[in-house]
Structure 1
Amino acid sequence: MAVTEQQEPFTNGSAAAEEAPEPGSMTLFEHLAELRNRIIICAVAVVATTILAWFFYGPAIQFMRHPYCQFVHLHPNKALTKNDCQLFITGPIEGFTTRLKVSLYGGLVLAAPVWILQLWRFITPGLKKSEKRYILPFAAAATCLFALGVAVAIFVFPKALRWLILVSGPGIVPIFRPSQYFTLYVLMCLVFGLIFIYPLILVALELTGVVPSARWRKWRRPAIVVLAAVAAVATPSNDPISFMALAIPMYVFYELAIVVGRVLKK
């Protein structure tokens, strides 16, 4: 009996040790609470930057109208030059909704460093200690790549707009609504910015050992097809200039991600 009584505490302690959560682990409710907090921080940042963009609405629309004005001033069509690159609203509240949309779009772009950092912070609890040191460098690199994607979209948009107007053929005079024009402009910036972040995902998968660099090299040919398909779908204008401006950097980033992942893994 003495032996049995001594064994029981040992058995209960072993079961308790098996049921005890690992250090640093989180329950489902803790994950949901963490996600809620990150979303609230992102929402506050977007609201603040949207208010800021609201007050800079005038300079913003002048900047975004420049590609259209440049095309109109260089185009021989007299009907276009007569309009002097004006955008036309067709409803009494369209001007207000346009300003609201442009401010919100601008807020999303300006708040990119915040929501990118919060995304990485949300992923942090699932990483090892050796992997957590990459969080801030990854967030900084993602912000820079997002800004680079936006810059490429701004550079490409005038050529894409020219292609969209000329492809309609002769005898057709474009009269743009501001909501549609600005939506296309900002959507193109967001798409390019988000896609330029994708190589960081490849590097992260290499560092965590989910997908080794040898497998990315093995998947090079199928990846080229997938990247071309993504570029074709992601470019709102579907013109060849925008497609090449997105497809070529995506492939270059794919190769760079393989190299960077191998170097960091070593």
Structure 2
Amino acid sequence: MTEATEDKEQSFISHLLELRDRLLRSIIAVLVPFIVLAFFWPKAGYIYDLVAQPMIAMLPAGTKMIATGVITPFMVPMKVTLLAAFLLALPYVLYQLWAFIAPGLYQHEKRIALPLIVSSTLLFFVGMAYTYFVVFPMVFKFVAGFAPTSIAAAPDIQAYFEFVLTMFMAFGIAFEVPVAVVLLVRTGIVTVQKLGEIRGYVIVAAFVIAAIVTPPDVMSQLLLAVPLCILYEIGILAARLVKPKPAPSSEAV
């Protein structure tokens, strides 16, 4: 085995060890707030109550959600608490990701990578906030308006959690459109001019995606498709400020 091969193997092993350490730090960063919120905070159930508030507000006075599973009243609040802990730790988790990939980037790549990580995090949180404060109240009110008077709505907490998680992920990822557009232009895959030319196709795709990932009602589909189109335009405006990736050079890392 040559010395160069040994150096490559040692480098690969060192990268694996670093990746392991950063994954462990990220997991600990999630577990610590989860344990504190779930087992040491006296109002741990308040987190689920807060998440359920948009639905509760649309139910008849005195109506509560139900739990059909034996351990569902315990498991669902724990899942919500774990989600809250992950969101609290997300900036630190993304920092660990940045610290792992930064040494392998050129200087001009570092200048754009960190802003993209920060902006993508903020946009994800904005997408979740938009879902909670705008989408949920409008969708639940729209659905409640179609319910026959002979039906007493009492949603199951497990089904509600799965719905909320799906919507949070759908809208959080959808709000990353500007970042995706900037990356496409930065890497030279497409140009700003081309993005403008395919605008019509993007609008159609936005409505198709909204129809797939949201519940089968017009209101929620519109509430996702319209922001997607707006965010696409914002991405084009931001991409105008970004120069395409320069040709490879010997720039120092």
TM range (shorter): 0.7 to 0.9
Q: Are the equivalent residues in 1 in contact too, given 2:123–2:176 (CA < 8 A)? A: yes
Partner residue of 1:149? 127
Q: Offset at 1:32?
A: 5.1
1:205 pairs with one of 179, 184, 188: 184
Residue 73 of structure 2 corresponds to residue 95 of structure 1: yes
Alignment of 1:242-253 (within 5 A): 242-253=220-231
* Mapped pair 1:113 → 2:91: yes
**Corresponding residue SS for 1:134:** helix
List aligned pairs for 1:60-75, cutoff 5 A. Answer: 60-73=47-60
Contact 1:131 1:208 in 2 (8 A): no
**Cα displacement string for residues 33-59 of structure 1 (whole angstroms, at most 9, x for unaligned residues):** 555444333322222232244235322
Does residue 106 of structure 2 align to residue 128 of structure 1? yes
2:242 match: secondary structure: helix
In structure 2, the CA distance between the partners of 1:27 and 1:234, relative to structure 1 (3 Å rule), is: farther
Long gaps (5+) in structure 2: 245-253
8 A Cα contact 1:150 1:189, kept in partner:
yes
What whole-Å deviation, never above 9, does each CA across 1:117-158 have from its counterpart, x for those lacking one?
A: 444555545543212112222222112211211110012112
Alignment pair present for 1:221 and 2:200: yes
Q: Which moved more, 1:221-230 or 1:206-215?
A: 206-215
Which of these residues, 29, 46, 53, is aligned with residue 30 of structure 2?
A: 46
Provide the aligned length of Structure 1 versus Structure 2: 236
Residues 192, 240 of structure 2: 8 Å contact kept:
yes
1:1-20 residue pairs with structure 2 within 5 A? none
Q: Report the identity percentage.
A: 31
Going from structure 1 to structure 2, the CA distance change for 1:65 and 1:140 (only over 3 Å counts) comes to same
SS of the aligned residue for 2:67 comes to coil
How big is the shift at 1:105?
2.1
Cα distance, 1:100 vs structure 2: 1.8
> 2:67, 2:156 within 8 Å by CA — same for their partners in 1?
yes
Q: For residues 31 and 167 of structure 1, what CA distance do their matches in structure 2 show?
A: 56
Which TM-score applies when normalising by structure 1?
Answer: 0.75
Question: After the TM superposition, which parts of structure 1 deviate over 6 Å for at least 4 consecutive aligned residues?
Answer: none
Structure 1: give runs of 5+ residues left out of the alignment: 1-15, 74-80
Q: 1:129 to 1:223 in 2, by over 3 A?
A: same
1:103-125: CA deviations, max 9, x gaps? 12222333332344444555545
- Structure-2-length-normalised TM-score: 0.78
Q: 1:255 aligns with which of 229, 233, 238?
A: 233
